[in-house]
Amino acid sequence: MAHDNVRPAVFLDRNGVLNRAIVVDGKPHPPTSVDDLAILPGVPESCSRLRELGFALIVVTNQPDIARSGQQAATVEAINVALRTKVGVDAVYVCPHDDADRCECRKPAPGLLLQAAQDHRLDLTASFMVGDRWRDIEAGRRAGCRTIWIDQGYREQAAADPDAVVANLTEATNWIESMYAMTADGAGTPSVAGGARWACSRKRGTDMQGRN
């Protein structure tokens, strides 16, 4: 059960989890503008279900194209604002750095999750990280969360030992519901119900590490 005065969260990567990634040569890329932002099927409904279960919804996203001068920070912010409006997440945390910056926020480092936990009083041990890339899963593991990999079949390094492998956020939400049961006091706070690994759609990517 989550500790007093703190909430569990579902941490969500952005591209490929909430909105459609632009895949080029097997590698996912972000939308280039708000007009290119396409919410994936079932995402608003899944977010609504998770909120009803009592989870905070926190987006944690690497956006290295800012550091690479491939996208303006203002464009990334506009996309994030539109995303929040469409799916109703509580907050969006962005890392604008590249690997060479050696920051603490670029996934697989857990800095974005740790900062969000501090800002929003979140119980990381009762939380989940949902992502479509190995960096997401490793960041969640380092933060102490359970991890769910949405395997999109990218041509890059596969996620290492996630707690669940699914095809989309709808399946991830189903798994989260199966792992948690509501407390008997009716307060709406999720409590741990089980911990088995589970795979709904296991299709492994090739062993090539992506940059984003």
List per-residue pLDDT tens for the chain, 212 residues long.
445 689 999 999 999 999 999 999 999 999 999 999 999 999 999 999 999 999 999 999 999 889 888 788 999 999 999 999 999 999 999 999 987 889 999 999 999 999 999 999 999 999 999 999 999 999 999 999 999 999 999 999 999 999 999 999 999 999 999 987 543 234 444 544 443 334 443 333 322 233 34
pLDDT at 157: 93
* Domain residue ranges in the chain: 9-199
Residues 6+ apart with CB under 8 A from 196: none
Per the listing, tokens 């090739």 go with: 206
In whole angstroms, how far apart are CA 126 and each of 32, 120, 161?
Answer: 34, 14, 18
Query: What contacts 24+ positions apart, CB below 8 Å, involve 92-97?
Result: 92/14, 92/58, 92/59, 92/61, 93/58, 93/59, 93/60, 93/61, 94/61, 94/63, 95/61, 95/62, 95/63, 95/64, 96/63, 96/64, 96/66, 96/67, 97/64, 97/66, 97/67
CATH 3.40.50.300 correct for 9-199 = no
Whole-prediction pTM: 0.85
pLDDT at 4: 64
pLDDT at 99: 77
